[in-house]
Chain A
Amino acid sequence: MLRAAFAVLRREIWSGSAQPLATLLAIAVPINFLVLMALFALSGGKQNVALVVQDRGRYAAAMVQALSRADTFALHPAGTPQAGLRLVRSQHDVAMIVIPRAFSAEVAAGGPAKVQLTLDNLNHDFADDTRRGVALAAALFQRTYLPASEPVNWAVHYTYPRTVGFLPFLALSILSAALLLGGLLQGGLGMAREWEAGTIRELMLSPAGALPVLLGKLVATFLLALAGGLIALVGALLLGVPVQGVLGSIGPLLAVLLVFDSIGLALGSLLRSQRLVLPLSFAAGLPLFFLSGPFGPMEWSSPGALAVARVFPIYYASGLLQRSFFGYWPLAVPVGTAIAVLAAWTVASLAAAGLAYRRATAPRGGRW
C-alpha cells in the first residue's frame, strides 16, 4: 500500500512541476489573500484626525497628551481650522479636533473648557468611535486636572499581562484563512484536474485501492500547500505576530494544513471541475475569514454567527494558532474538543473523497 501511495505522491509532484502556472497560482493566491486582508486590516487601526492647537498653555498640551493616551487617534497637526477642514473634506482625515485659544484659561478657572470636534460622520459605527474617543480623552484629562468635575472614578483590571495589538491578532485569522484557501486550491484543483483530464481512470485501472491513492494525493497536496503556508507565515510575522511563538506553532500549523488539504481533496472529488472549485474556494475565503473571529472571540458576536462559526474548522484552527502564538485559549470549547472537531473534518473529508472515488470505480453496466 505504501509503495502505491508513494508512487501516487511522486506522480502528483511531477504533475505539479509539469504545470508550473497552476501550481504557482495555488501558492500565490493565499499570499494574495494575505496581502488583501492586510490592506483591509490597515483601515482598522487608529483613526486619522487633524489636530489644531490654538492655545500654547500647559493645559492644552495636557489635552493633546490625553488625546494620544485615548489609543484611538493618529493625530496630524494642522496649522489652522481651515487647513484641518480641508484634510477632512478631502478624506485625508475622519475628523478635526480644535483646542481653542481660551482652553487653558478656562481650565485654570475651573472649567468648563470647550474642545471643538468636526466630524465626517460617514456612518454611525465609525462616528461613534470618534465621539467616544474624544470623550475618553476628556475624561482622562479631567481625572488629572479637574478631579472634582467627575465624582465617579473607574479602574480597569486586565486578565493578561500584555494586550496583543490589533494587527498581530488579525494576522492569525488572515493566516488561518490563507492556509484554508491554499488547502482548498491545492487539493481541490489537483483532484478536479484529474477528473477533467480523465487521468483519474489510470489510477482506477491500477490495482491500488482508494486508500493509497488518496494518501499519496494528500501528502503531495500537503507538500505543495506547505510552500504557500510558509510564505503566509512569514507575512503574518511581518504583521507583528511574535517570532517566539513560531517553534511552538509548527505542530498546530502542520495539523491545520492537513485538515484544509483534506477538505480540498473532498471538494475536488465532489465537484470534479476546476471552474467550480476555483470560485467556490475564493468565495469561501472571505466569509470564513470573518467566521474565524478576526476582531475578537466569536463568542461575543451574535448567537447566529457563533453557531455558524462552530460548524467550520477555521474557527478551531484559528483558536489553536492563537494559543500557540499568544499563549491564551480564545474559545469557549476546550482544546480537546477543537482538536476532535478538526480530526472529524479530516476523516469526513477523506471519507467523502474516498466515496467519490469508489463510486466512480464501481461497475455500472460495464461503464464508469
Chain B
Amino acid sequence: MLRVILAVLRKDLGLFWRSPAVVAVTLLPPVILLLTLLMESAAVGSLPVALVGGGHGKPAREAARTLAAYPGFRTVPLSPGAAQVAFDRLEVAGVLTVPKNFTKVLAAGGSPIVTLQVRNFNADFTDDLLRDLPDALGNVPTPGVPRHRGVTIGERDLQPRDANFLGFQMVAVLVLLLLQAGIVNAGMAAVHEWQSGTVKELLLAPAPAMAVLIGKVLAGVVAADVVGVVLGGLSLWAGFFGSVTPGNLLLALLVMTLLSAVGSGIGVGLASAMRSFERLGPASMLMSFYLFFLAGGIAAVAFLPGWLRAIAEVIPNFYGMDALRGLLLYGSSQNLGRDVLVLGIWLVLVLAAGPRLLHRSLSR
C-alpha cells in the first residue's frame, strides 16, 4: 500500500510543478490578496484631515498641537483658505478647526467649540471620524479649567496583546492559500486522470482505492505545505506575527497540514464530480473562496451576523483559522484541542467519502 501511495504522490507532485496553469491557479489569488492587504494596511486606522489651528494664546496652540499628534488622524496643518482648497480637491476627508476665540472662551469659563467639516461620502469613515473627535478632544489640555472624567472606562483585554493588523490578515491569507492549494492541486491531479483516461487503469488496478486517494491527498498536502511554510516563514521573518515559540510553530505546522489535507480531500471529491479542467478550475476557486468568506474571511467571526456565524461554525477552515491565530498571534492554545478534533473529523469524513466518489463517478 505504501508503494502505491508513494508512486501516486510522486506522479501528482511532478504534475503540479510542471503545470504553469495549476501553479497560477494555486498561487495567484492568495498572493494578490496579500499584496492588496499590504497596500490597504498602509491606510488603515487614520484618515487625512486638514487642521486649522487658528487663534491666539497658549491654550489654542496646545489644542492644535494635541489634535495634530492624535494617532487617529493624519493631520495636515493648513490655513483656512488652503484647508478649503485641500477639502475641495479631496486631498483630505475633513477640516478640523480650532476656533480663533478658543483661548478667550476657555478663559471666560465657557466651552469653546472645535468644528469638523466632513465629506460624508459614506457612514463607515464618517463614523470613524466622529469616534475620533471626542477621543482626541479628551486629550486637549485646558489650563485653569478643572477637568474631571464624568464617565470612566475600565478595560479588560482577553488577549495578552493586540495583534498586528497585518499579522491578523496574514493568517487569513495563509488559510486561503492552504485551502486553495489543497483543493486545486489535489483536484487538478485527480481530474488529470479523467482527462488522460488513466482513471480506469488506476481504479481497476489491484491497488486499493484508499491508497490512491491517500497518495493524491498527500501530494496536495505537500504542495500546500511548501507554499504555506514559505509564506508563513516570510511573515514570521517580517515580524507580522510577533514572537512565536518553537513549540507553537510546530503545532501551527500540524494545523496547516490538517487544513491542507481536508482541502485536498475536498479537491479530489470535487474532481470526481467535475471530471474536466474547464469545470473544475472555476468550481475549485469558487469553493475555496466560499469556504474562506463563509468562515469570516479576513475579518473575525464575531463581526458576522448570527446566521452567518452559524454557517461558519461547521466549516473546517474556521477551526484552522482559530487555531493558527491563537498559536501565531496570541501564543495561546486555548481552543487547540477542539480545533484539531474538528479538523480531524473533517479529514476522516473526506477520506471516507473519497473512494466511493471515485468509483461512483467512474461508473457514470
Residues of A within 8 A of B (CB): 21-22, 25, 29, 32, 36, 39-40, 42-45, 47-48, 63, 70-72, 88-89, 91-94, 107, 110-129, 131-136, 138-142, 145-147, 149-160, 163-166, 169, 273-276, 278-280, 282-284, 286-287, 290-291, 295-297, 299-302, 304-305, 308, 322, 326, 328, 330-332
Contact = CB atoms under 8 A, between A and B. Distances in A.
B300 A94 contact: yes
A318 to B, nearest CB: 12
Given A134-B153, A276-B21, A328-B121, 13 more contacts: A22-B278, A42-B305, A70-B131, A117-B154, A120-B158, A121-B159, A128-B45, A152-B112, A155-B113, A164-B122, A279-B25, A300-B47, A305-B42
Top-4 shortest CB links A-B: A146-B150, A139-B134, A43-B299, A149-B150
Contact of A296 (B111, B124, B163): B124
B3 interface: no
Contact of B304 (A43, A280, A297): A43
Contacts of B300: 43, 91, 94, 120, 122-123, 126
A128 to B, nearest CB: 7
B91 A332 contact: yes
Interface stretch (B26-34, B199-207, B347-355): B26-34
Contacts of A113: 150-152
B131 A152 contact: no
Contacts of B44: 125
Contacts of B162: 121-124, 127-128
Given A43-B299, A132-B132, A332-B89, A283 B122 contact: no
14 contacts: A39-B293, A42-B308, A45-B303, A70-B131, A72-B131, A93-B302, A110-B150, A129-B131, A136-B130, A141-B150, A155-B115, A279-B281, A282-B28, A308-B39
Interface residues of B, number: 101
Nearest to A93: B302
Contact of A119 (B29, B90, B147, B158): B158
A94 B302 contact: yes
B278 A107 contact: no
B302 A91 contact: yes
B223 interface: no
A331 B90 contact: yes
B151 A159 contact: no
Contacts of A132: 72, 131-132, 135
